[in-house]
Amino acid sequence: KAGVTQTPRYLIKTRGQQVTLSCSPISGHRSVSWYQQTPGQGLQFLFEYFSETQRNKGNFPGRFSGRQFSNSRSEMNVSTLELGDSALYLCASSLSAANYGYTFGSGTRLTVV
Amino acid sequence: GDSVTQMEGPVTLSEEAFLTINCTYTATGYPSLFWYVQYPGEGLQLLLKATKADDKGSNKGFEATYRKETTSFHLEKGSVQVSDSAVYFCALSESGGYQKVTFGTGTKLQVIP
């Protein structure tokens, strides 16, 4: 059974650019959540999608957006990149977070220079 | 709102020592509780879970018991190995509604031979 796949694994971007990260969940999982992980702030919740609808949103500026497609694959986009956006971005999918927990991908390491 | 507090790290132990990582939570209702582990350069992996009071989750020699009276979910292992060196995250998920997941700040464990 394939796990959660995130692409790309590593990314280097320049300030002001935009970036799109991709996440393919485990087959059958309709919920996809995104987290930002940094040494200083730990794991910060970005948003959660379920059946193409955003169900939950964290406290991030509007530069951070996402979407989910009919096959449950999800993308997140960050526009006008800032140095502080450098982080590990983690995607997690689940059948039911409360009953089964999350399955995480390996993450995308974004470096903004 | 919901919150998870776990002990500050890093925790350094000798191989075969006993491990306890403390975790307490604040939540309305009856959340599910989880421990996740993150190895260097990887995403988080679900280690164990408990979905109701007095449940004991266990996996790979690790155990944690859902204590509603003390709002705690402490992680224990009787004899740690070097390969257990990682960051451990305690988390809770609301049981209803959007099943939002709240993570603790993580505790780094280093096991020395």
- Mean predicted confidence (pLDDT) in A82-87: 97
Among B35, B30, B28, which residue's Cα sits nearest to residue B95?
A: B30
* Confidence bin at B71 (pLDDT 50/70/90): very high
Q: Kindly tell me if the per-residue pLDDT of B32 is higher than 90.
A: yes
Average pLDDT of every residue of chain A: 94
Cβ within 8 Å, pair A103-B46:
yes
Residue A94: count of CB within 10 angstroms of its CB: 26
User: Given this model, what pLDDT does residue B1 score?
Assistant: 83
Query: Which H/E stretch holds residue A99?
Result: helix A97-100
Q: Percentage of chain A surpassing pLDDT 90?
A: 88
Cβ within 8 Å, pair A102-B101:
yes
User: Given this model, what pLDDT does residue A80 score?
Assistant: 97
CB of A3 within 8 Å of any CB in chain B? no
- Mean predicted confidence (pLDDT) in A38-43: 88
* Residue pair B107/B7 in contact by the 8 Å Cβ criterion: yes
Q: Kindly tell me if the per-residue pLDDT of A1 is higher than 80.
A: no
The Cα–Cα gap between A23 and A106 comes to 10
User: Given this model, what pLDDT does residue B97 score?
Assistant: 65
Can you read off the two tokens belonging to residue B17? 């020592």
